[in-house]
Structures are given as C-alpha cells and as structure tokens.
Amino acid sequence: MKAIINREISSFFSSPIGYLVIGLFLCLNGLFLWLFNGEFNILESGFADLYPFFQLAPWVLLLLIPAVTMSTIAQEKKSGTLELLLSHPITKSQIILGKFFGSFFLIILALIPTLLYVYTIWTIASPNGAIDLGSIGGSYFGLCFLIGSYTAIGVFTSSCTENQITAFISSMLICFICYYGLAEFANFDGLEFLASWSLKYHYDSISRGVIDLRDLVYFISITSFFLFLTTLKLNNKL
C-alpha cells in the first residue's frame, strides 16, 4: 500500500495538478481572507481569529478535492491499467486505501502553509499572542476529518466511471449535499433530524474547539462508508 501512496503522490507532482491544487487553494484563501472585501476578510472582521478561514475552506475544498480525486481510479479504468494493478499481489482494499491516502496527503500538504495565517493573526492581535490557539487547533483537526470525508467521496465517484469530468461533477455534487444540502433540508418541518446528518453540523461542532467523540465517529463512519462502497464497486457488486 505504501508503494501506491508514493505512486499517487509522485503522479500528482509529475504533472501540473499537484502544484495547481496547492497554488489555487492558497491563492483563493489568501484573496478572500486578506484582499477581497466581504464577510471572509479577516482584517475587516475586527477580531484576531481564523474563523473566516475555517468557514471558507470547506467551500474551496469542495472544488479542489474532486479535482484531485477524479483521476484516481477513473484514469486507471480508462487506460486499462486497473486490471494490471489488480493482478498484483495486493488486495483491492489496499489499492483503494493507497489511492485515498495519496490524495488525502496532497490536500494536507496544501493545508500546511496556511499555518502562516496563525502567525499573522498572532502578530496583529492586541496584545500580541492574544488568540485562542485551542479553538484554532480544534478547527484544523475538524478540517482534516472533513478533508478525509471529501476525499473518500471523490475516490468513490472516480470508481464509478471512466470519465474524469463525470467523476469531478458527481463528487462535487455529493460533497455539497453532504456538507450543506442536508443542513438546508433540515429547515423544513419534519426534517430537522437531517441537520445532525450533515458534514457541516459536525464540522462546526469541532470548529468550536470542543472535540466530541460523536463527531469523530461520524466523520470516520462517512469516510469508511464511501471507501466500502468503492470496494463493492471494484468487486462489481454495486
């Protein structure tokens, strides 16, 4: 499985996609957080915290993670190399986990430079360092779990088709429904229970700096569920 992870990561950086994803993520966040006027602008908020970043990041990742995962299995199917890969002495689960962690680590790599934002608000806070590091740490923790769920959904949709554009659109749609759609449906009478099913509900809960076991179990369950569906798909049972 380690070889597959390394292969996935090296394939990202042997083509423009790896650099493009990291560059776009940092560029979009930087523009909205520091330059563009609006609700996400930290300088206009009057508070030395990263709350705007953690509200913006899920929407940016909603576009970028499907772009990363769309080729993980779809390209293998289209080029005919999936059968060759399956003939190796590794299990389908190892292949899927290798694809998953390869994409996951790439997005985490894109997340690391945003720690500069923490240093920035640390220096502009009055007095210096007057920021809630516990809340920021919890928010990063929750964002990592959200990235895992998005990535698992992306790998699943990639296994369902040979067309990368179809995989991209399908992944983006499912991620949107799971993150925001279910929370919106919960506003209708009788559907209030859907709020607790949404990724946004549990992400917002962790972002408040409170690590609840129920939130962790939820994210792990969503990630495991879509990876399980991917395994069924490769077994031609779905």
Amino acid 118: pLDDT = 87
Average pLDDT, the chain: 85
pLDDT for residue 237: 46
Q: 7: pLDDT confidence band, cut at 50, 70 and 90?
A: confident
Domain ranges of the chain: 2-234
Residue 147 pLDDT more than 50? yes
Whether the predicted pLDDT of 46 surpasses 70:
no
Q: What is the pLDDT of residue 102?
A: 92
Q: Are 13 and 110 in contact (CB under 8 A)?
A: no
Buried b (16+ CB within 10 A) or exposed e, 104-124: bbbbebbbeebeebbeebeee
Residue 191 has pLDDT above 70, yes or no: no
In the predicted model, is pLDDT for residue 159 greater than 80?
yes
**Amino acid letter for position 151:** T
Which of the four pLDDT bands, split at 50, 70 and 90, describes residue 185? confident
Greater confidence (176 vs 75) lies with 176
Provide, rounded to the nearest whole percent, the portion of the chain with pLDDT above 90: 37
pTM of the prediction? Answer: 0.91
Rounded to 5°, angle at Cα 26 from 95 and 133: 95
For the four alpha carbons of 44, 26, 165 and 173, in that order, the dihedral sign comes to negative
Contacts by 191-194, CB closer than 8 A, 24 or more apart = none
